[in-house]
Structure 1
Amino acid sequence: MSAQENVEVVKDFFAATGRGDSQGLLALCTEDIEWIIPGEDWPLAGTHRGHAGLRDFLQKASETVETHFRGLPEFVTQGDRVLIVGSAWGRIKATDKTFEDDWVFAITVRDGKVTNIRENIDTQALARASQMDVAGPV
């Protein structure tokens, strides 16, 4: 596939994610999809594998965080890789704390399907927003 076709697959992937279309999303992914979010102290960090792992991850994400993207992201391609650079703001639902986040997604597309996602986000900002305030002794 051409670089532009790979970008279109990635755009379709994000559009399906945004509208909560899990069937459409899974149709755009290989059976052995791998979504990696590095970090600690952030409930969505880790490696999520396969369609079942992707479904579980997306369910947990919808229960955990509300995200809004700022402007249009930038797409950079080379071969079967698509990098998406953007920024977002959002809210952690459990704490009602907000966060701001600059991010880069490195996505591999093969034969018209997403095979790998490495999401590089500000996990420290998200972890801080996820922490509950604990009142100490006065």
Structure 2
Amino acid sequence: MSTEQNVKVVKDFFAAMGSGDKQALLSLVAEDIEWIIPGEDWPLAGTHRGHAGVARTLRKASEEVEMTYPKPPEFVAQGDRVLAIGVAVGKIKATDKPFEDHWVFDITLQNGKLKGIREYIDTQALARASQTDAGPRH
């Protein structure tokens, strides 16, 4: 697929994520997708594989995190690689603590579907927002 087509697929992925349309989102990702979200001390951290892993991550995100995107992401692409660059603001529901997360999604596509996502995020801001008053989770 062309670079322009790949950017469109990634934009459709973000639109589906923003609208909560799980079926549309899953139709855009490969069956064997690997989605890496860095960090330890916040709810979405980990490596999520396949449609089941993506579905679990989306469910957990809707249950545990409130997030909005104040402006649309910027897209930088070359061939089968698309970088989405943006910012999210929100709060972790369990602690009611806010965060601001400047992020980059490094997305690889294969045959018109998202094959890999590696997020580069502000893990410290997200971990701080996830801390209970008793201190960090271990």
Secondary structure, aligned partner of 2:23: helix
- 2:114 matched residue in structure 1: 114
TM-score after normalising by structure 2: 0.93
Q: Deviations over 1:13-70 (max 9, x none)?
A: 1111111111111111110011001112122111000011111111011111111112
Q: Counterpart amino acid of 2:53?
A: G
Secondary structure, aligned partner of 1:108: strand
TM-score after normalising by structure 1: 0.93
- 1:74 matched residue in structure 2: 74
- 1:22 matched residue in structure 2: 22
- 2:39 matched residue in structure 1: 39
Moved over 4 A (4+): none
Q: Percent identity?
A: 69
CA distance in 2, matches of 1:73, 1:50: 25
Q: Counterpart amino acid of 1:127?
A: A
CA distance in 1, matches of 2:18, 2:100: 19
- 2:134 matched residue in structure 1: 134
Q: Counterpart amino acid of 1:39?
A: G
CA offset at residue 78 of structure 1?
Answer: 1.1
Secondary structure, aligned partner of 2:103: strand
CA offset at residue 71 of structure 1?
Answer: 1.5
| Equivalent residues, number | 135
Query: Which deviates the most, 36-45 or 23-32?
Result: 36-45
Q: Deviations over 1:64-112 (max 9, x none)?
A: 1111112121111111000011112111111111001110000011111
CA distance in 1, matches of 2:30, 2:56: 16
Q: Counterpart amino acid of 1:19?
A: S
CA distance in 1, matches of 2:88, 2:17: 15
- From the CA coordinates, give the structure whose radius of gyration is larger: 1
